[in-house]
Amino acid sequence: MESALDYHTARALLEWHVELGATEAILDAPLDRYEVPKEDPKKKAVAAALPETPAAPVRRPKIDPVAEAEKAAKAAGDLAALEQAVAQFEHCTLKRGARNLVFADGNPAARVMIIGDAPDRDEDREGKPFVGRAGALFNNMFAAIDMGRDVPMSKDALYIAPVLPWRAQRGGEVPAPVLKMMRPFLERHIQLVAPDVIVLMGNAALECVSGQRGINRVRGQWQTAFDKPSLPMMNPADLLRRPALKREAWADLLSLKAKLDETS
């Protein structure tokens, strides 16, 4: 059937549709523009043959525990804030196996600050440094030179803090990286207490503060730690195991008493 429209009429009609906004002509066959195009089976086979690319791992910023300890310790303005900062520090694995935080004991105004080794089982259970049999010997040693943790007068009082706030594992040995990690808290502790003299009781205390090992070799020899006179001494627990060393411990106590009299 021939079209009833002549050339000029058809052209005028087309121009009118274009003017109305038409952009394309009707196709000869219907076109479903919402149909999802079929995947080329060849491309699908090639994609299946290629190995899967693993997802890129998520990179988390590396944490420096020593830097975190330094930051937390520096922010502590007093002993209560420092104790809280230590309690909230999560990078030391010793914390996971400890019952209690062992922060300090005694008079913070004391002239003498005792730095002990890491807490043992008794100290971990009670949350205080130098308790049990070793604690009783500790109290008797300093009572012999008229000093103690419960003495109200600061000139004769003691302030005690362990080198680590949590119990050491594996026979009491403390890895050097752990001592390095926790050293900023100890340094800040000493700054806040500001004692006249520091006593380092045991190998861990000696290593953490001075970097030395061998308390038997250096005990009784005055040193300087954190700009303070410091005296290495045997830990009372070691004296219980080796009673013959009590003579040297008595000599160290007399040396401490003489230093205090000298600097009073």
pLDDT tens for the 264 residues of the chain, in order:
455 667 777 777 777 777 766 676 666 666 666 676 666 666 666 666 666 667 667 676 788 999 999 999 999 999 999 999 999 999 999 999 899 999 999 999 999 999 999 999 999 999 999 999 999 999 999 999 999 999 988 899 999 999 999 998 766 678 899 999 999 999 999 999 999 999 999 999 999 999 888 999 999 999 999 999 999 999 999 999 999 999 999 999 999 999 999 987
197 inside domain? yes
Domain containing residue 110: CATH number: 3.40.470.10
What distance in Å separates the CA atoms of residue 190 and residue 23, rounded to the nearest whole number? Answer: 85
26 inside domain? no
Residue 223 CA from chain centroid, whole number:
28
pTM of the model: 0.76
104 inside domain? yes
What distance in Å separates the CA atoms of residue 264 and residue 261, rounded to the nearest whole number? Answer: 5
What distance in Å separates the CA atoms of residue 196 and residue 190, rounded to the nearest whole number? Answer: 10
Angle at 97 between CA 120 and CA 125, to 5 degrees: 40
Structural domains of the chain, count: 1
